Amino acid sequence: MNREVMRGAALPMRALWSPGAALDEAAAHRVVAPASLVLLVAALGALALPHLLRLLDVALQPTGREPLDAHLAVLRIGLGRLLLFERLVPPLPFLAAGAMLALVAGPVLSGRGVRAGAIGAVLTLGAAPLLVQRVGELAVVLAAPAAALGAGDVAALPARFNVGVAGALAAAGIQAPGWLGVAAEAANGAGLWVVALWGWGLSRLDRDAGRSAAAPHTLGWCMAAAAAYAAGWALYAALYPTLLLLVMGAP
């Protein structure tokens, strides 16, 4: 029994290099595999927390001026909560995108005899690249010099790993405005990897249900995954100010 649990817990990591084999085994681990992915993402995020909180303490050192120090203390509490939330909770745009894609793919594939558990396995294991993202973010955090960072820089530090379009714009000294900034942040390697796995996995389920596996059909599922990913990020961007207020507390 323990051996089977361990195999299920390892499925998210196996999905990184052998997604087909991982999906074939996922039906036997409907609870363990999703729980394993969430716990691994949270654990890798938690490893970065001690260093991030130390960097935050350095950035918000008391100045000896009482009104300013009171403001810094409140800011320290709020940013500490934000770091805890962002490191321990799986990225919300991915959760929103997965839910939206499930709403689209569920009725279509269930009508062709595909079980809901198989769709859930695709969405779960397709998000396995989040593990790579968390490892990269941890490396960026541990390599950061403390002296050169402000409080805002510390909060944004893990996102530096998501180079993508946002990193290219930052390297060129371009500050992307509004929705373009959100789109640039979303267009990163881990996100595109997840979209590709989701599209491939859903087209595989459709093929196994008797549908043709022609290239345009696979492309259609990839486009559906990309649309859900974009919608997830758009929803996240719209709700982020409210989320920030709830997590950090009122000023």
Higher pLDDT, 36 or 1: 36
Residue 251 has pLDDT above 60, yes or no: no
pLDDT band at 22 (very low <50, low <70, confident <90, very high): confident
Distance (Å, whole) CA 3 – CA 10 = 11
> The whole model's pTM is what?
0.84
| Average pLDDT score over the chain | 83
Residue 215 has pLDDT above 60, yes or no: no
pLDDT of residue 145: 80
Q: For the residues 14-25, what does the mean pLDDT come to? A: 85
Higher pLDDT, 145 or 220: 220
pLDDT band at 1 (very low <50, low <70, confident <90, very high): very low
Lowest-pLDDT choice from 53-62, 169-178, 200-209 = 169-178
Here the tokens at position 84 are: 């805890």
Which of 215, 2, 21 lies closest to 11, judged by CA?
21
Q: For the residues 217-224, what does the mean pLDDT come to? A: 87
Give pLDDT tens digits for 138-179.
Answer: 998 998 887 778 888 888 888 877 755 555 555 566 665 555
Burial-class residue 210 by CB neighbours within 10 Å (0-12, 13-18, 19+).
Answer: exposed
pLDDT of residue 165: 55
Structural domain boundaries, residue 111: 2-248
pLDDT of residue 212: 53
pLDDT band at 84 (very low <50, low <70, confident <90, very high): very high
Number of compact structural domains in the chain: 1
Higher pLDDT, 59 or 229: 229
pLDDT of residue 175: 61
Residue 238 has pLDDT above 50, yes or no: yes
pLDDT of residue 105: 92
